Chain A
Amino acid sequence: MKLRESPAAKIGASIAVATGLYGVSFGALSVASGLSFWQTMALSFLLFSGGSQFAFIGVVAGGGSGVAAMSASALLGIRNGVYGMQLNALLRPTGWRRFASAHLTIDESTATATGQADPAEQRRGFWVAGLGIFIFWNVMTAVGAVIGNALGDPKQWGLDGAAVAAFLGLLWPRIKAFQPAAIAVVCAVVTLLAVPFVPPGVPILVAALVAGLIGWFRHGRTPDHAPGHVDDGLEPDIEPYRHDAGARPPRPARLGQGEDA
């Protein structure tokens, strides 16, 4: 099948454009938080995981230290390790492709690949979405950083409000059931309670600890064949296939289901 005719490649390309576009908000918010243009670019080019990048600048914007920003970013990136495991089982990349796949392993590329049933389509979806987002995201980050620098006082333009909206926008799609909503509320309350007592940035790590403990001790309705992936929001934060729900292929084989991984 040619790339042009591949449904996964089409979905991947549209996801790449939509996701890449909001790199502009990351770029603008990053320089507003106090990072330089090149630090902003380093996050998009080298770290390349939207949630972790926003976490980093979110801590910095609140006056948190570099080490707190790094910690929040690293903890938010743990899910990418789980995605990597799933993608390794699905795509089985070898040689240099394995190292390239790792860099492109994010919510959107994972969701595009795992939404397909055919292995060749999974591969096309992953690479088109991953590479496409990488390119658009970096270009739009640069555009956003330049705009952000030109705007001057970030507060006057409501950029601090934009950051709040961005975090809520990242959280929202994951809240599809009672349990994730309860976790979100508990962590929000813990954060507010911690703010007056610890240095800026640390309340986020306290909330992370609480969230981690909830996950550790939570007795899930989590089936063995889909670890952490019952429809409770604990899955990639986008649904590339929601627009053609009728044509949606059967739920993909995850780890341990039809895979000898």
Chain B
Amino acid sequence: MSMWIWVLVAALLAYLTKLLGYLVPAKVLANPRMSRVAGTLTIGLLASLTVVNAAATGTAVVLDARAGALAAAAVALWFKAPFLLVVLVGALAAAGLRLLGWP
């Protein structure tokens, strides 16, 4: 049940963040530092989410089929595959490695 609360809070915050850009006078927010922080945050969070989903199980760092998915996805992206194909390649790599006996 409490997950519902956080889903709704996240949605509310997301909307308020967007709306803030429209309501607050540009002068207040239009400083390069604010934009830079928004940019570095985005990259940092996505990088962090990538490795957490690839290598963390609870509080342990593990090497399993997901690492294979990460490598396969990187190859697909290198060859400029579209997003949906990249996701499929990740799934196939993880599922395939598990069939071969990787955890």
**Which residues on the A side are within 8 Å of B53 (C-beta)?**
58, 61-62, 160, 163-164, 167
Convert A65-105 into 0s and 1s, putting 1 for each residue whose CB lies closer than 8 angstroms to a CB of B: 01101101111111111111111110001000011011101
**Which residues on the B side are within 8 Å of A46 (C-beta)?**
8, 11-12, 14-15
**Which residues on the B side are within 8 Å of A199 (C-beta)?**
59
Establish whether residues A164 and B22, one from each chain, have CB atoms under 8 Å apart when the complex forms: no
Q: Is B19's CB within 8 Å of the partner chain A?
A: yes
Determine which residue in B7, B56, B92 has the highest number of CB atoms from chain A within 10 A of its CB, and name it: B7
**Given contacts A166-B90, A168-B77, A227-B30, A210 and B60 within 8 Å (CB-CB):** no
B24-47 residues at the A interface, CB under 8 angstroms: 24, 26-27, 29-47
Establish whether residues B47 and A184, one from each chain, have CB atoms under 8 Å apart when the complex forms: yes
Query: Which label, helix, strand, loop or mixed, suits the secondary structure of the B interface?
Result: helix
Assembled-state Cα–Cα distance A155/B43 (Å): 27
**Which residues on the A side are within 8 Å of B30 (C-beta)?**
85, 227, 255-256, 261
**Given contacts A184-B44, A195-B60, A208-B48, A165 and B87 within 8 Å (CB-CB):** yes
The residue of chain B having its C-beta at the shortest distance from the C-beta of A172 within the complex is B77
**Which residues on the B side are within 8 Å of A250 (C-beta)?**
none
The residue of chain A having its C-beta at the shortest distance from the C-beta of B5 within the complex is A66
Q: Is A169's CB within 8 Å of the partner chain B?
A: yes
Q: Is A42's CB within 8 Å of the partner chain B?
A: yes
Assembled-state Cα–Cα distance A22/B88 (Å): 11
Assembled-state Cα–Cα distance A66/B50 (Å): 19
Establish whether residues B47 and A207, one from each chain, have CB atoms under 8 Å apart when the complex forms: yes
Interface residues on B, range: 35 or more
Establish whether residues B3 and A66, one from each chain, have CB atoms under 8 Å apart when the complex forms: yes
Interface residues on chain A, number (Cβ under 8 Å): 113
Assembled-state Cα–Cα distance A261/B37 (Å): 21
B50 to chain A, nearest CB (A): 4
Assembled-state Cα–Cα distance A160/B61 (Å): 15
**Which residues on the B side are within 8 Å of A77 (C-beta)?**
13-14, 17-18
Assembled-state Cα–Cα distance A99/B96 (Å): 46
A149 to chain B, nearest CB (A): 16
**Which residues on the B side are within 8 Å of A3 (C-beta)?**
none
Q: Is A204's CB within 8 Å of the partner chain B?
A: yes
Assembled-state Cα–Cα distance A169/B94 (Å): 16
A18 to chain B, nearest CB (A): 7
B84 to chain A, nearest CB (A): 5
A78 to chain B, nearest CB (A): 5
Q: Is B101's CB within 8 Å of the partner chain A?
A: no
List 24 A-B pairs, Cβ < 8 Å: A47-B7, A56-B10, A59-B49, A73-B10, A74-B17, A76-B45, A80-B17, A82-B35, A82-B38, A83-B21, A155-B94, A158-B65, A159-B91, A161-B65, A161-B91, A165-B73, A171-B46, A183-B40, A186-B44, A196-B60, A203-B56, A207-B48, A208-B44, A214-B44
> 12 more A-B contacts (CB under 8 A) besides A58-B49, A164-B69?
A46-B12, A49-B14, A80-B17, A80-B21, A85-B29, A88-B22, A161-B91, A164-B94, A165-B70, A169-B83, A183-B44, A233-B39
What 9 pairs across the A-B complex have the smallest Cβ distances? Answer: A84-B21, A211-B44, A165-B90, A161-B94, A228-B35, A234-B39, A161-B69, A66-B6, A158-B95
